Structure 1
Amino acid sequence: MYLETIILVHTVLFSRIIAFPNLALNGSAIQSSVYRVYGPSRVIDGNRNQIFYGESCCHTAVGQSSAWWRLDLGYSAYIHRVVLYYRKDQPDRLKGYHLYISNSFKENNPNSGHECFHYPMSTNNPTIIQSKTCDWTGRYIVYYNKRDDLEAFVELCEVDVFGCYVGRYGSQCKSRCPVNCNNDTCSIWDGSCASCKEGFKGDRCDQVCDKGTYGINCSTSCTNCKNQSCDHRTGECPTEAGCKAGFHGSKCSKGCSANTYSENCQLQCHCLNGITCNDVNGQCPDGLCDPGWRSNTCSQKCEVGTYGPNCQNTCDNCKYTECNQSNGTCIHGCSAGWKGPKCEIRCEKGTYGPNCQDTCDNCKDTECNQFNGTCADGCSAGWKGSKCDMRCKNGTYGPNCQDTCDNCQETECNQFNGTCTRGCSAGWKGPKCEI
């Protein structure tokens, strides 16, 4: 329970009176040194008697070039005003003092933090009651003095600190700051928030962010979310909606990585030589695709029978017209009449069929159709048939087996040259029994 208050007038749109408690009475104090029994706690005992020997003032040791007194409020507070009551009979020792407010304190570095006030080393003595408006947030109040000689003293008789602990405002700090104030901080006068927690706006942070905005004070936009709809606190885009074309991530704040595009960057493009496509519509520069891909976004694989950049090449000579869509090599080998990795080489003379694996040695001059093996100029001696793959029957010989050896014994002769193998029938002579 605060023991004292100060009544202050604050003007916003009109004047009003607000009483703030003296926070110093709940604090604890230390000082750089102690002269005799004049310790630091005397300064926050509620006794404003400025007569030194009235046992209400502190005193640091003599012979010091610097001296300080520090008040710890226990918690961070918004400090509106600090009132110093100095020793009545030594106003000159008040010259040059500094008043600091901070949220941390080190004895080896007491003169740090926010400087609320500094009284210069002027020729005029200051008044022994110093009332200073600080309007700053902190836990520690430090009175500090430094001299060029050994005449630095702290001889405070009382220090009043008026304001509210963080999270409170209004008369006697009885009201709590609005729940959505950032860091639980609000104006001690009217409770308006200095800034809002993520997802809220307004003087009292009681309004949810408009559609398309989020974060602290609704200051960030989520324009990359599809339909500009996002969580008003975190900015995350709804999973079912996702991101606009060209963006991905939970907040749709990341641009598409190389070779991806569309909503949520879920589609891939295959531009020639890995050149990046437009991350929104996927179009490739100059419309050139990597081998195996086609369309203006280079996102469609080549159809069966085509391959290469933009699928402009065909693999008609491959078996089933199936080839590797990138380099055109035939998957199942070649159709009849062709050979090579891409089946782009015609069968050589004397060969035919799939991959040119068959020969037509029995054709006249070994010339045959490269596809089906039919002999163009007939057969060599001893063979017949469209592919010259049938031996001459007994009693026949020569090209296409068109000659007969009727005069040979039992009509048996060499199928190639017609010479009789068992000799001649009665009445005939000669190698072929033709005489």
Structure 2
Amino acid sequence: MLPRDLLSRFYCIQGKYGAACYQDCPVKCENSLCKKEIGNCFQCTGNFDGDKCNICKDGFYGLNCVSLCPCHCFNKSCDINSGKCNYGCKINYSGDKCCVQSNNCIDCSSDTECQKCKSGYYSKLCKKKCPVDCLDSCDISTGVCSDCITNHFGPFCNLKCSENCYASRSSATHNCASSDGTCMFGCKQGFFGLYCNETCSSLCIDTLCRQESGICMKGCTSSKDDQICLLSLGKPKDVSDSKSTTTTNIILATLLAVTSTALCILILKKLIKKIRSAIRQINATAIQSPFQNLQNEEVIAVTELDNIAYEIIGKKQGASEHTYDTISPSAQNRTVSYGDTEYMNLKI
């Protein structure tokens, strides 16, 4: 048996390669065995192929190389990740996976159906032709046109724009909308309406009327009471005029509302100020009333005391009656005594 250091010159342990046997063999090598020098697999697992076992055998694709390539791929070779044919299709087949037997498919949705056809074709097998007036392509399921050629409209572009539509200056631009046929650049003289299929009134000057309403643009030749002859200051009444009037009315109403609100707030403030002033006056009066009552009581007490003094003086002088309005001169500067107490001096 050869020594280990001698064996390592020619072989590495399982799963390793390189001069020092430090590198890993490709994961799809059979039994993880690969050549020591460059790491090429001796054999691959499953349907893998190649020196490093990193591609699929012819006819297989996918992460684990278990999916079969489309059977109509040329040489049965397809991309390992997507399954798209590497070298095109067999004769009379088309699509990135050669899914349908025609030359009209571009992208396949499966191995047997198409999801995108060449311009002018539709259906899962791309064998039906789009309507002749479609511009470019149509829906793959319904055949509805994505757009129409000039002066045609409708789902299948089988309807023509009105001859009364005003023509575009560019020949490449549609005169009417491809979806519903409404005239895009107005009507020819004498016609109005979305499709320019209505005739302006004979009362209109030069038979000119507005496309939206039919109202005469230059006024009328006779009666001014007709609805189509509505004018404003000598000019035709336009929708924009009514919109302007409506906008003005809204602005005026808003200003009126704001002014009214401000006036109400001002009046309310003044009313509150007056109420507060009245409350302060009532409080001041309530505070002064007890002092006034006390002063009145003192005056009444003094008056009663004066009357008692007058009565005492009258008794001392022997007067039978005494009026409290006057006092005799002899009573002036006299000291009044009640018992042994000096009561008061009265000076009149």
Q: TM-score range by the shorter chain?
A: 0.3 to 0.5
Larger relative contact order (Cα-Cα within 8 Å, sequence gap ≥ 6): 1
Return the TM-score normalized by structure 1. 0.28
**Structure whose residues are more often strand by fraction:** 1
Higher gyration radius (CA): 2
TM-score, length-normalised on structure 2?
A: 0.34
Compare the two structures and name the one with the higher helix fraction.
2
